[in-house]
Amino acid sequence: MRRMDGADVPLLPIVLAPDPVLKARARPVRDADAETVRALLPRMFATMYRAPGIGLAAPQVSVGLRVAVVDLMEGDKPAPIALINPQVAAASAELATREEGCLSLPGHYADVTRPARVKVRYLDVYGMGQEIEAEGLLAACLQHEIDHLDGVLFVDHLSALKRNMILRRMLKERRQKETA
């Protein structure tokens, strides 16, 4: 298998909101998808690192599979996690609010409240069942990426007013770039 950091693989174009592909629910990965997923993961990591970001879900690169990659790069040390068919198995009643952004909504950030701790079950690149317990930034990142697989963006956790302000601003910025 190629390097997970994707240093030698082509990048994928990141889909920007409000593209409808971001609102579609991704389908579970099946055994027949194994080769597709193995080829996709290095490209997803490369795209995420180059953006730069700390998480990327397959729908953000126009792939409708339940696949996400995460790497917080704590201490500038890579710690890539590839998640296939991830699901939140448990979430704390305690909530935490932190600022979130998204590669599909570049330059836009807002405070999002989510469970402070989660347990996530997923398959690794070899198809082996894994479980991760997370809190803090990793918990928020995992939930954010799993939301993408369900067609949910971080702005969907905001009030309609805040969400619409961000989406209108994005469209205005895009129109200005197109006419420049």
| Cβ contacts of 71 within 8 Å, gap of 6 or more | 45, 48, 49, 54, 55, 78, 79, 80, 81
List residues with catalytic annotation.
Answer: 145
User: Can you tell me which residue has the tokens 């009030």?
Assistant: 159
For residues 44-83, one letter each, b for 16 or more C-beta atoms within 10 angstroms of the residue's C-beta and e for the rest, the string is bbbbbbeeebbbbbbbbbebebbbbbbbbeeeeeeebbbb
